[in-house]
Amino acid sequence: MYAKLETRTFLAMLLGVSLAFVLLMKPFFGPIFWAVAIALIFHPVQLLLVRRLGDRPTLNALITLFACMVIVVIPVLVLGAALIAEGMAIYQKIQAGEIRPGEYIDQVNQSFPAIQAFLGQFDIDFDGLRDRAVSAFLGGSQFLAKQALGIGQNTFQFFLGLALMVYLAFFLIRDGQKLIELMIRALPLGDERERLLFAKFAEVTRATVKGNLLIAIIQGALGGLIFWILGIAGALLWGVVMAVVSLLPAVGAAIVWVPAAIYLAAAGDLVPAIVLTAYGVIVIGLADNLLRPVLVGRDTKMPDYLVLLSTLGGIVMFGINGFVMGPLVAALFMAFWGIFIREFGQEYSPVPQKPDADPVRED
């Protein structure tokens, strides 16, 4: 009796200390999460170095981390800085009256009055929609300006998070396999189940990060290129914006290039409008429709609709990290239920009877 009390007390304290540790790490969720993602994505690079250079954990981890910095971290920082600088410039032009989003929408309405009539059939007030669109545009540019100001004011905090992510990534790359084995020994789920769940976690994280980021880079580059060719101002900014919004499945970069094509047509630039529309549908659209199921859906082994719903839900719940967290939660949900059905489902299934068997009659 006393031994059971000791065990229960210990488990209760273990749970309490674990929850306290999770709350302690909560402010660093972003750096920790992306450090884990980096370790998982670049794990094949480390394995390649082990085969080439031998079992030298520290050196291999340093080389892998350097490759990550050159391929991912530095380009993302450069693009982020360019996006914030461009957004700041546009916000200043809006404040100075050089850019007037409301007039652009009014010009579209004057050129295509059928749009207002069409919206009226669904009791949609065009003026209210116009005001919301202008507010959204102003809010977006103001958000970028605030981010630029915030990063400037919180430079130490920003670089502290970045340094923490890189620092953790090094140790996770070097000692990740040992940590996984330790967690498998500690968790009371059964070693086979735990290995399956850890494998699913790694698989989905790699697929969503690599797939979504690669699609974002491709769509942003394609969109920025056509904007630059057509002479649309702020091609770099709109390319980066298209890369960011392309994280939203089904809609993606069309949020940017469709309004741009409509405005070009309203301004009388029919040829650029037609070129942008055709390019957006054929090139940018197909890049999303063809690559996303291959790079994300196939590797996660989830249907396209579930990838879409889980991505949208993840972004709503977790913010920008949700484009990875959403599909990850959905994949783990499917994995847990798959284990349950495989291991426990047969216990509750009825025993099939032979067609000619009579359960009442006894020979």
Task: Give the tens place of pLDDT for each residue, 106-135.
Answer: 777 677 777 667 666 666 666 676 677 767
pLDDT on residue 358: 47
Judge whether 14 lies within some domain: no
Which of the listed residues 140, 162, 186 is the one where a domain comes to its end?
A: 186
Is the distance from CB of 257 to CB of 219 less than 8 angstroms?
Answer: no
Domain end residue (candidates: 186, 202, 224): 186
pLDDT for residue 363 = 42
35 with 181, same domain: the answer is yes
- Whether 286 maps to a domain, the answer reads yes
Residue with tokens 């990290």: 321
d(CA 161, CA 177): 24
Query: Token pair 């994505």 is at which residue?
Result: 41
Element containing residue 141 per DSSP (H, E):
helix 126-153
Question: Does 22 fall in a domain?
Answer: no
Q: Are 58 and 108 within one domain?
A: yes
Q: Are residues 135 and 274 in the same domain?
A: no
Distance CA 270, CA 226 (A): 15
Nearest of 219, 208, 217, 197 to residue 314 by alpha carbon: 208
Same domain membership, residue 220 and residue 103: no
Flag whether 61 is in a domain: yes
> What is the number of structural domains in the chain?
2
Q: What is d(CA 245, CA 224) in angstroms, rounded to the nearest whole number?
A: 13
- Both 230 and 245 in one domain: the answer is yes
- Domain for residue 315, yes or no? yes
Give the end-to-end CA distance of the chain in Å, rounded to a whole number: 52
What domain range includes position 199? 188-344
Contacts of residue 186, Cβ cutoff 8 Å, sequence gap at least 6: none
- pTM for this predicted structure: 0.68
CA distance 180 to 329: 19
For residue 21, is it within any domain? no
Query: Is residue 9 one of the residues assigned to a domain?
Result: no
170 with 195, same domain: the answer is no
Compute the C-alpha angle 199/329/11, nearest 5°.
80
Same domain, 82 and 182: yes
Give me the phi and psi of 145, to 5 degrees please: -65, -40
Q: Do the beta carbons of residue 227 and residue 260 sit within 8 Å?
A: yes
Structure tokens given for 326: 């959403």
Residue 356 lies in a domain: no
Stretches in the chain below the pLDDT threshold 50: 351-353, 355-363
254: number of Cβ within 10 Å: 21
CA distances from 108 to 126, 245, 263, 267 (A): 12, 23, 6, 8
* 36 plus 156 within the same structural domain: yes
Distances in whole angstroms, Cα of residue 152 to Cα of each of 10, 145, 349, 353: 47, 11, 62, 74
Among residues 186, 204, 234, the one where a domain terminates is: 186
User: Tokens in use for 249?
Assistant: 């499945």
**pLDDT for the residue numbered 357:** 46
The verdict on 164 and 293 lying in the same domain is no
Q: What does the longest C-alpha to C-alpha distance in the chain come to?
A: 98
Q: Is residue 225 located within the same domain as residue 242?
A: yes
Residue with tokens 């409301």: 102
Indicate if 170 and 295 belong to the same structural domain.
no
Instruction: Find all residues with CB under 8 Å of 313, minimum gap 6, and list them.
Output: 322, 326
Report how far residue 359's alpha carbon sits from residue 227's, in angstroms, rounded to the nearest whole number.
Answer: 76
Q: What is the per-residue pLDDT for 239?
A: 85
Q: 273 and 291 share a domain?
A: yes
pLDDT at 151: 56
Residues 6+ apart with CB under 8 A from 267: 107, 111
Which pLDDT score, from 0 to 100, does residue 20 have? 92
